[in-house]
A and B are shown apart, each in its own frame.
Chain A
Amino acid sequence: MSAFLQAIATELAARVQTNDDLVAGVDGWTADRILTRTGVTERRIAAADETAGDLCCRAAERLFAESGIDRATIDTLIVCTQSPDYFLPSTACVLQDRLQLPQSVAAFDLTLGCSGYTYGLWLARSLVLSESSSNVLLLAGDTYSKYCRPQDLAVASLFGDGATASVITRSPESVWAKIGPSVLGTDGRGAAHLIVRAGASRLPTSETPSDRYLHMDGAEIASFAVATVKTVVTNLLDKVGLRWSDIDAFVFHQASPTFVQRLIAAYRLPPEKVPLGLSNVGNTCSATIPMVLEQCARSARFQPGQTLVLVGFGVGYSWAATLIEWKKD
């Protein structure tokens, strides 16, 4: 028994926010400074009445339309988001109805951020290998722009809104990739370094802006990422008996194009082995890895038989690396 990634579809928020738009009325910043520091040229921003659930729903409809996958075959729905429609019920329950999935579907949310997609692949593969599920619909989407304080451009310049839909199946027919093992990890000591403090049970309301918006300690997170990504990839490769040089491509969470370029330099990786994407989208959290995979699939960047390592890392701290073998022509 194996588990396969059958297809991916992407949906972006419609509104485009340029760097000039972002800096208007904010002292101390220029569009050039944002571009130099982040590599982001523009980002997609959700409308006030548009949720991550809406974006996930449209991504799923696009997936069904483009791939021909029959929604009636979906037996498990996982929605990975940190921007749920409601405190309760879960967004997955709402989307079961909106997507007209069978009522026999198992549906639940996965509340992880930038590690969410690789966690989702690990979970979906585990469900398939245990014969608990046959066809898992994994939706990953967020609207972090709603958590960003408009004046805090060090944070707001990074994030964009979007979603992806992926199907993980046990059938090997017409698939994009075979999903291999994962290595996962957590360090809750990092919780305070990337956090929205107010709005939930611990701090229901706050007058302090830094509580109500996304707080990010960039240096701490960079230090966490540069150490953790190297360790988790090494641990994954040790687990499967491969070396770094055996890997054809490393698909990192796109914290920002500049951030990924820094990882390439820090690890002395061949740049051609590390796809860079989303400079015109922004950091869409759990959706960045599947968005890059979809872009690479469209451009036929990967060849059948190539071995890829996907690495998600961030808020939590939480991380997961997954090995896949590319199958799509």
Chain B
Amino acid sequence: MPVTVEQVLEDIAQCLRVEPAEITTSTSAAELPAWDSLAVVELVFMLQRDYDLALPPAQATTLRSVEAVLATLRAAGKLA
């Protein structure tokens, strides 16, 4: 079942170990210290675990903003 943007924001917050309120559709790694390289690893696993989505390795490093995560899910047809 396609997931909502709100659910994705919650999942990202969980990966980054920050409060959900800190994550909006405009959040990016540049402004959030918790969004470091290890957090990107967490996002990679989250996409496989929660959305059955295996990224090509070269695409993994693009997961540096909420919009990039949403775009990845949208391209895979996973976003409502």
Our pick among B48, B49, B61 for the contact of A219 (Cβ within 8 Å) is: B61
A217 to B59, CA, bound (A): 12
Our pick among B37, B54, B58, B61 for the contact of A226 (Cβ within 8 Å) is: B54
Q: How large is the interface on A (under 10, 10 to 19, 20 to 34, 35 or more residues)?
A: 20 to 34
Contact in complex: B48, A217 (CB < 8 Å): no
Nearest residue, chain A, Cβ from B52: A266
Chain A facing B: main interface SS = helix
Contact in complex: A154, B61 (CB < 8 Å): no
Nearest residue, chain A, Cβ from B42: A262
Chain B interface, number of residues (Cβ within 8 angstroms): 19
Contact in complex: A218, B37 (CB < 8 Å): yes
Chain A residues near B48 (CB-CB < 8 A): 226-227, 266
Contact in complex: B45, A219 (CB < 8 Å): no
A111 to B40, CA, bound (A): 30
Chain A residues near B41 (CB-CB < 8 A): 218-219, 222, 262
B57 → A minimal CB distance (Å): 4
Chain B residues near A226 (CB-CB < 8 A): 44-45, 48, 54
A-B contact count (CB 8 A): 58
Chain A residues near B58 (CB-CB < 8 A): 220
Contact in complex: A219, B54 (CB < 8 Å): no
Is B2 an interface position by the 8 A CB rule? no
Contact in complex: B57, A230 (CB < 8 Å): no
Contact in complex: B45, A224 (CB < 8 Å): no
Nearest residue, chain B, Cβ from A36: B17
Interface residues of A in 232-288 (CB under 8 A from B): 262-263, 265-266, 268
Is A221 an interface position by the 8 A CB rule? yes
Mask, A193-234, CB within 8 Å of B = 1, is 100000000000000000000000111111110110010000
Contact in complex: A219, B37 (CB < 8 Å): yes
A230 to B44, CA, bound (A): 14
Contact in complex: B61, A217 (CB < 8 Å): yes
Is A185 an interface position by the 8 A CB rule? no
A268 to B52, CA, bound (A): 11
A223 to B46, CA, bound (A): 11
Contact in complex: A227, B54 (CB < 8 Å): yes
Is A37 an interface position by the 8 A CB rule? yes
Contact in complex: B44, A222 (CB < 8 Å): yes
Our pick among A220, A230, A263, A265 for the contact of B61 (Cβ within 8 Å) is: A220
**Interface residues in chain A, defined as those with a beta carbon under 8 Å from any beta carbon in chain B:** 37, 154, 190, 193, 217-224, 226-227, 230, 262-263, 265-266, 268
A219-B41, A223-B56, A262-B42 are known contacts; what are 5 more A-B pairs with Cβ within 8 Å?
A: A219-B44, A221-B57, A223-B59, A263-B45, A265-B49
* A–B pairs, 19, beta carbons within 8 Å: A37-B38, A154-B37, A154-B38, A218-B40, A219-B37, A219-B41, A219-B44, A219-B63, A220-B57, A220-B60, A222-B40, A223-B60, A227-B48, A227-B56, A230-B54, A262-B41, A262-B45, A265-B45, A266-B49
